[in-house]
Amino acid sequence: MSAVAVEEVTKQWGETRAVDGVSFTAAAGSLVVLLGPSGCGKSTTLRLIAGLEAASAGRIRIAGRDVTHLPPARRGIAMVFQSYALFPHLTVAENILFGLRVRKVPAAERRRRLAKVAGLLGLERLLERKPAQLSGGQQQRVALGRAIIAEAPVCLMDEPLSNLDAQLRHEMRREIRALQQKLGMTMLYVTHDQSEAMSMADQVILLRGGRIEQDAAPAALYDRPATAFAARFIGTPPMNILRSADAGVLLGIRPEDIVLAERGDVAARIGAIEYLGADSTVTCMLGGETVLARVQGRVGLPAGAAVRLSWPRERVHLFDAATGRRLDDTMSPPPAAAQELGERVAAAAGG
């Protein structure tokens, strides 16, 4: 039995469908990331699961129970908001205990759970402070504390780290993941940051325009993107997508799969080099198209220099130009595509 099951859920405001027939399940104890660009419907999906919005169609089950029409408090969830939603007039302790007080949990039990949560999150010395007296990271911990003290089986997180600086974000990522695994919570985590998704998730649900683009483990998402959109959304810099002479097919090759070599399949010219320390991003002009390559360390060539590019055949991804769907089910490209590559080589050499 899955912890959360979303079945054909749609949310419509007038003519616009923010969420359009979305279905997925989250296994108990797993961390599922809802990923996508802004406006893709990921936050709305989360709010539908929380019960903060009512679904226009479809069903939502939590722990096997149909909660589609239940109020948030009766769905067995906890939630962390992007802005933390701390009550500014209450102390840290009162904020964390808010829900327990509502549910009239006895005082002794409250004290016990507060001590545990405060210890878990390192908030012991901040309990009497007001939110305004805390740093962003500390506020984030309080919000987290309020969510986990409820001991709800499912925890929903709406872009919880987006208000933190890069350093802190990195730390919190690991901490949240560790906490989730330690407590065995099922966590639904919304973010637009692919690195958060890749590093934390057991399962990533990539959304676009209110629909699921791909629902897979992080590695599968990277290795076998289901669509051209998924291919470009995951990975930095994004995958190169090239038009082919065969109008029906798009060619995809990740920058990190391209090798700059003396001898290679394709001749190109260096447009620009972006040095990033551990590696460099090289912009290559290939006929009329631009291809990004990610290479280790520093590149010892000037802009304008001629290079040859090569890549392993099995790292080429093919997509249907009309639907954007992945074409191959095998690792090797079809004959037409291979021929295409040869043609490009000839063209580059001639120019």
Interface residue list for other proteins (CB under 8 A): 50-52, 71-74, 77-79, 81, 83, 85, 87-89, 98-99, 102-103, 130, 132, 146, 150
What b/e string do you get for 225-237 counting C-beta neighbours within 10 Å, with b at 16 or more? bbbbbbbbbbbee
Paired strand residues for 270 = 284
Q: Which is nearer to other proteins, 77 or 348 (CB)?
A: 77
Rank residues 99 and 237 by Cβ distance to other proteins and give the closer one: 99
Q: How far is the CB of 111 from other proteins (least distance, A)?
A: 18
Nearer to other proteins, 132 or 278 (CB): 132
Q: Which residue has the tokens 């069903």?
A: 59
Least distance (Å) between residue 95 CB and other proteins: 9
Long-range contact set of residues 128-131: C-beta below 8 Å, sequence gap at least 24: 128/91, 128/92, 128/93, 129/91, 129/92, 130/88, 130/89, 130/90, 130/91, 130/92, 131/84, 131/86, 131/87, 131/88, 131/90, 131/92, 131/95
- Rounded distance between C-alpha atoms, residue 32 and residue 134, angstroms: 29
Q: Strands 186-191 and 154-158: what pairing?
A: parallel
Q: Are 247 and 321 in contact (CB under 8 A)?
A: yes
**Nearer Cβ to other proteins (52/198):** 52
H or E element at residue 223: helix 218-223
Report the distance separating Cα 8 and Cα 20, nearest Å: 8
Nearest approach in angstroms of CB 174 to other proteins is: 25
Nearer to other proteins, 189 or 229 (CB): 189
Q: How far is the CB of 130 from other proteins (least distance, A)?
A: 8
Percent helix, strand and coil across the chain, each rounded to 5? 35, 30, 35
Closer residue to other proteins, CB minimum distance, 74 or 243: 74
Determine the Cα angle at 272 with ends 271 and 276, to 5°.
150
**Residue closer to other proteins (CB basis): 102 or 108:** 102
- How far is C-alpha 301 from the geometric centre of its chain's CA atoms? 35
Task: Identify whether the C-beta of residue 25 lies closer than 8 Å to the C-beta of residue 45.
Answer: no
- Based on CB atoms, which residue is closest to other proteins, 80 or 221? 80
Contact of 142 with 96, CB cutoff 8 Å = yes
CB of 158 to other proteins, least distance (A): 9
The residue among 63 and 345 lying less far from other proteins, judged by its C-beta, is 63
CB 18 within 8 A of CB 190: no
* Alpha-carbon gap, residue 28 to 239, rounded angstroms: 33
CB of 82 to other proteins, least distance (A): 8
For residues 34 and 40, give the distance between their C-alpha atoms in angstroms, rounded to a whole number.
10
